[in-house]
Amino acid sequence: MTKKRIIALLMTMVLLVGSVFTLASCTDLFGNESETEQNETDTQKNDSNEPLSVDNLSVETVSSDAVLLSASAPMLVSTTSGTSVSQTLTATVIPATASNKAVDWSVEWADSTNTATVTDYVTVTPASNGSTTATVTCKKAFSGNIVVTVTTRESGYTAECIVSFVGKPTDINVTTTLTAQTDGYHVGIGNTYTFNVDLSNPFGQVGSGYNNITVELSGVGSMILGYKEVYVSSGNTTWYDTSDTTVQLDSLKDEFITVNYADGVITVNTLKSIESYYESMQRLDSGRTRAYTNAFKSYVTDCYFTVKITENNSGISEIIKIHFDDTVVTGVSASASEMTF
């Protein structure tokens, strides 16, 4: 073999070896990403591992570089053994182009020394075999933390959801001596009514941190206000329709009713009927005529009040409706419109 052919052969071998090492640096024999590419992927982890608020549960998702977890809104679920609280947990396998997105779900105590059966307290149920969506259900109160883990069937990547019981309320219960009607509570005028507020959840354990309760009064419906003159001598009333204005009850609600909350009790004071409302009144013709500005004329729609009760730390709320009773006084007349002595 000539010297030139030997040199050419050696150069060819060097190029082949270089190509093999270049290929190995991108993909190993099992098709895994190189360490460099894997490190780049590691820097793309989910940065939104904030605790997610769940009824009765405190949930914190811990995502990995290949699986992201997110939680849905909680929901009450009735079972044969009572009422539990459930929430949907969703795993997102990365990348979106991955052909095998099947995962497995598991649940265990964070404290490995806890010997209680974990599924007596929290269970995780996939929507179907290998589904990336699962339902996490709390069956009863517990202490400590429980870990829900999702694992990809391909490559074994994992993400975790830390679950703890915090006793969030799921219901606001309102009790009163009034009898509720189909359209709410009916009240009189010039009276004080009380409503007791109590928080509860299916487990009978509401956390002490859930006592931030506020109430909001609203008026529902609309009415027409106008200008009228009432003639004392005859008892007749004249409306001047050009002054008619349609207003929402909500804009005048404080004229008729007040609502306050303290120490678990809502206090409702009724001031006057809607039909008796007017903005101002003056006497004309030596007192023989009364002129009313923006006086109640008629209803456009049914008018009533709502009281929204909100526990702000949990976000749950309850609304009660209050109507003035049909027996509320709305007018009066005298047997004589004028007399002399």
Is residue 3 scored above 70 in pLDDT?
A: no
Cβ-based neighbours of 156, under 8 Å, separated by 6 or more:
none
Higher pLDDT: 316 or 11? It is 316
pLDDT in tens, 182-223: 999 999 999 999 999 999 988 888 998 899 999 999 999 999
pLDDT at 331: 57
The sign one gets for the Cα dihedral 33, 39, 44, 46 is positive
Cβ-based neighbours of 165, under 8 Å, separated by 6 or more:
56, 57, 58, 121, 138, 141, 142, 143, 203, 205
Higher pLDDT: 24 or 71? It is 71
pTM tops 0.85, yes or no: no
- 3 state SS for the chain: CCHHHHHHHHHHHHHHHHHHHHHHCCECCCCCECHHHHHHHHCCCCCCCCEEEECCEEEEEECCCCEEEEEEEEEEEEECCEEEEEEEEEEEECCCCCCCCCEEEEEEECCCCCCCCHHHCEEEEECCCCCCEEEEEECCCCCCEEEEEEEECCCCCEEEEEEEECCCCCEEEEECCCCCECCEEEECCCCEEEEEEEEECCCCCCCCCCCCEEEEEEEECEEEEEEEEEECCCCCEEEEEEEEEEEEHHHHHHHCEEEEEECCEEEEEECCCHHHCCCEEEEECCCCEEEEEEEEEEECCCCEEEEEEEECCCCEEEEEEEEECCCCCCCCCCCCCCCCC
pLDDT at 55: 37
pLDDT in tens, 219-267: 999 999 999 999 887 778 999 988 899 999 999 999 999 999 999 999 9
Is residue 285 scored above 60 in pLDDT?
A: yes
Q: What percent of the chain has pLDDT over 70?
A: 72
pLDDT in tens, 115-151: 999 999 999 999 999 999 999 999 988 999 999 999 9
Is residue 176 scored above 90 in pLDDT?
A: yes
pLDDT in tens, 39-76: 333 333 333 333 333 334 445 555 555 555 554 444 44
DSSP-assigned beta bridge partners for residue 316 = 311
8 Å CB contact between 317 and 309: yes
Is residue 337 scored above 60 in pLDDT?
A: no
Enumerate domains of the chain plus CATH numbers: 46-165 (2.60.40), 171-324 (no CATH)
